[in-house]
Amino acid sequence: MISTRLSLLRAGQRRERESKEQIGNIPSPFSQSLIDAEASCLLELSEASRNTSLVQLALNAVTRARALVADSPTFEVAVEFAKVLWSSRERKIAVDYLMAVGERHPDIDDESRALLLTQIVRFVADYQTIANDYIRFQGEWVSHASLRPPMQVRDTYFEPAYHLITATGHDATRLASVPYRFASFAEHQYLTISRSDVSQLQTHMARKQQEIDSYESAISTTQPDQRHLSLGWAGLQRKAKAVFEQDSKQFNLHMEKMTLFLHNAIAMYGRCLVLSNDYERDSVIHLCSLWFRNFEDEELNRYIEGVIDPIPSRKFIFFAHQLSARLSGSNSGLHVESPSQKALQRLVLRLCREHPFHGLYQVYALQHNDPAPKRRASSIPDASVDSRTRAAVAIFNSIRDQPTICRKLQDVELVCDAYVEWATYHIDKQGSSQERKPSIPVNMRLRKLKDINIPVPTLDTPIDPTCTYGEGSFVGIREYKTTYTTAGG
């Protein structure tokens, strides 16, 4: 089909050139439109060839497209040419080519610059992942895998790309791709710095400080007639202080970069979750991993609270067990002094309030998390269990005061209490074996459950983005049979 279109367009261009309306080599408006259409067809042919791994055919098509627009190059052609180079495994050349195009045209409009920067961001992020496997053994990480120093990559490409593509108002999927790659890049740099020689540098600084103190002590205890020794100690102390100051500056620079990349990663993962569902699970896992890794950092937890608040709580549903497992409460109730617990409890409370049938069960289990009589030495200490129980009780009490959700909470508690009672019920094997289908005792709460307006817990409950969970949106509990059978017969 594309070949037919190209043949018709070229025939039209030939007829237009043969007509008397064209002056010299200057194309008429109609002829220019034919050239633009042919270039668009060639770009489509190149993209289709790339997607089917026909790289040589793609290279031929995009080369002809570049020749057609040589007098007025378009950035769509430049980006496609870079993609073909990338598919040809000329990754560094592809990125350098796009960088050179952007530098040659500093006055381009925001739309075109966003197109270029977005593609550079994708290349840099993808190349960094690919190159990590084989370049780390060659000692050329900074110059090849990162292409440029990380801070320069961040300031020159990721930051402008994110701001430009946000300002130009693209669709959510395209908007989310840039912050996701920005976050991946920032997370990688954070982990790289945190795994570097920071701890060794701290140890070296501590030893150097001890050395300075020892020189100070030696100087103070030197006798007046040993002035030459005092001068020697003073000289060595000055050298030690100079080295200590250099180490301190390097350490502070390391920590500033690590904190910056950590904040960038968390902010961009959060932004990605707000904009789109495309990277939902991956972004939540990475965001919570960074959060839990720095759970005791009070400043970071204050920052995280602002990042998490705009994210829809439904995106954390699959992670509800891990979130509730980290709950901890004080003797006074829900709100504790720790910023980490404040941010976490705020998120869990919002999850339970907006999606009660996905979040309440985990918190209910924590309320009944009584320690067993015989517990292994590796188990969680009783104090920790009590702390989580207090936090869970406080969350339920907070929800119970809200009229829009308290009825759902009561139904969930009613059903869960019946399940717990039935799960702990001792079955008399001799008595039950005489009956083919033994009856559930009349006094059991399970027999009293009638027309409960909550989803059947053993079914997958669809997530309601509106957070209403009205009647008819799920299969509720009408009643349970009065007889039962055991799994083992």
Distance separating alpha carbons of residues 88 and 330, to the nearest angstrom: 60
Closest by Cα among 354, 268, 285, 366 to 314:
354
Distance separating alpha carbons of residues 31 and 24, to the nearest angstrom: 13
Residue with tokens 């400080």: 209
The token pair that represents 20 in the structure block: 């008397």
Whether 154 contacts 185, CB under 8 Å: yes
pLDDT at 143: 35
The token pair that represents 327 in the structure block: 């709950």
Alpha-carbon radius of gyration of the chain: 33
The token pair that represents 147 in the structure block: 């292409």
Distance separating alpha carbons of residues 464 and 314, to the nearest angstrom: 8
pLDDT at 338: 83
Mean pLDDT of successive 10-residue segments in the chain (489 residues)? 57 51 59 73 85 86 80 71 82 73 66 65 56 31 51 77 65 69 88 77 80 80 70 80 83 88 94 88 95 92 93 95 88 63 93 95 84 42 71 91 90 94 81 69 93 91 90 89 81
User: How is residue 26 annotated by DSSP?
Assistant: B
| 293-315 as b/e: b if 16+ CB within 10 A | ebbebeebbebbbebbeebbbbb
pLDDT at 380: 45
Please name each of the domains of the chain with its CATH number.
2-138 (1.25.40), 171-311 (no CATH), 327-371+382-489 (no CATH)
pLDDT at 24: 55
Whether 183 contacts 268, CB under 8 Å: yes
User: How is residue 329 annotated by DSSP?
Assistant: -
Neighbours of 379 (CB within 10 A): 12
Cα-based torsion angle of the residue sequence 131, 133, 139, 143 in order, rounded to the nearest 10 degrees = 10
